[in-house]
Amino acid sequence: MSIYTTPIFNINLTKMIENFNLLKKLSAPAIPAAVVKDDAYGLGAYEITQSLYQNGCRHFFVAHGSEGKIVRHAAPKAEIFVLQGIGEDSFEYFNEAKLIPVICSPAMLDFWHTHKIEGIRPAIQVETGLNRLGFKVADLEKLTSSELSEFSYVLSHLSCADEQAHFMNARQLENFHKIKQRFFANTPATLSASDGVFLGSEFHFDLTRLGAALYGINTAPYRENEMKNILELKAPVLQVKKLDKGEFVGYSATFRAPCDMKIAIVSIGYGDGVPRSLSNRGKVIFYENGKACYCPILGRVSMDNIICDVSSVQNISTGDFGYLINDDYTVDDVARDAGTIAYELISNLGKNPRFIRNYTA
């Protein structure tokens, strides 16, 4: 009998490239850029970038200069934009890796003017309704025509693009057009992230920023997800045993068996990024004769283990693997059951150093 104790996280790069190519087609003729911030949403910025670069992607977005340095090693001739911009703490990353800052405030523009890097033309972020980072019209009015012409791209970000009929989409599009026409008539523009791609060509402009959808997340939940799931998370069973009627399960005894049951203790928990909110709500999948058996999580998710009801699985033993994410129970499904969003879920899972991580074709 084989004994395993470590969860396994498989990331399918071939399916990711298929997602990229579909998004590229939907975005055309806009340039498709890949968003690989937060270590490519936790999935490994170097490996993800390398695969995308080898398949023709030449534009990338990160959040911080330190991330850009990692991406530069995987994409030596790409344009790498840094969304949080540039400051004293990150200047050396920009200088060394030739990164492109997204200037998001007048104070940052002042810093750039005294710390320009030869050969780099920054982008500028403008405010159209999200009220996060970006120049407002009053800020832009203070800039000279020479200053306005120094940017390689003008950028803004949609707040409600995951809701097709939301009034903010039309409102922000109109605001962006007005700002571009008045201040940046000849400057390339980018407005849409993954969700904006599905709103239509009028939102695409010159470049689209493809992030969550690359990794299989449904960023347009009002329509069937066209993206392929690229993630498989599985964990081994450490023990299978009988649970008698009336017995309790887990910390705080939040589950009591209504009848005699069979349970499996699976080697994964919130210390691995599994949301504690899946307690008494989530599922683990086991397969029997090719059929998926959805086994409810019982009691609290603990740091290293979850306990699930495997009464419906006839043949299960120590060393078998249960699946927490796969094609039958996607990251969107898990996030729904956890009461969160898939973006947060994969970011937290991806940061776990305890997984055996594999990149598969």
Based on its alpha-carbon atoms, the radius of gyration of the chain, rounded to whole angstroms, reads 24
Identify the pLDDT of residue 4: 94
Summarize pLDDT for 200-254 with one digit per residue, the tens: 999 999 999 999 999 999 999 999 999 999 999 999 999 999 999 999 999 999 9
User: Is 251 labeled as catalytic in the residue annotation?
Assistant: yes
Is 80 exceeded by the pLDDT of residue 1? no
Identify the pLDDT of residue 2: 78
Where do we find the tokens 């776990």? 352
User: Is 37 labeled as catalytic in the residue annotation?
Assistant: yes
Separation CA 272–CA 293 (nearest Å): 23
Is 90 exceeded by the pLDDT of residue 175? yes
* pLDDT category of residue 120 using cuts at 50, 70 and 90: very high
Q: Exactly one of 116, 136, 178, 251 is catalytic; which is it?
A: 251
- Mean pLDDT over the full length of the chain: 97
Summarize pLDDT for 262-273 with one digit per residue, the tens: 999 999 999 999
Percent of the chain with pLDDT strictly greater than 90: 98
Largest CA distance in the chain: 77
Summarize pLDDT for 14-38 with one digit per residue, the tens: 999 999 999 999 999 999 999 999 9
* Strand locations in 196-300 (E): 207-210, 231-243, 248-249, 255-256, 261-266, 283-288, 291-298
Name which residue leads in pLDDT, 360 or 9.
Answer: 9
Q: Exactly one of 37, 69, 180, 283 is catalytic; which is it?
A: 37
Identify the pLDDT of residue 177: 98
Summarize pLDDT for 288-309 with one digit per residue, the tens: 999 999 999 999 999 999 999 9
Beta-strand relationship, 283-288 and 154-155: unpaired
* pLDDT category of residue 93 using cuts at 50, 70 and 90: very high
Global model pTM greater than 0.85: yes
The SS3 assignment for 124 reads strand
Domains and CATH numbers, the chain: 12-214 (3.20.20.10), 231-360 (2.40.37.10)
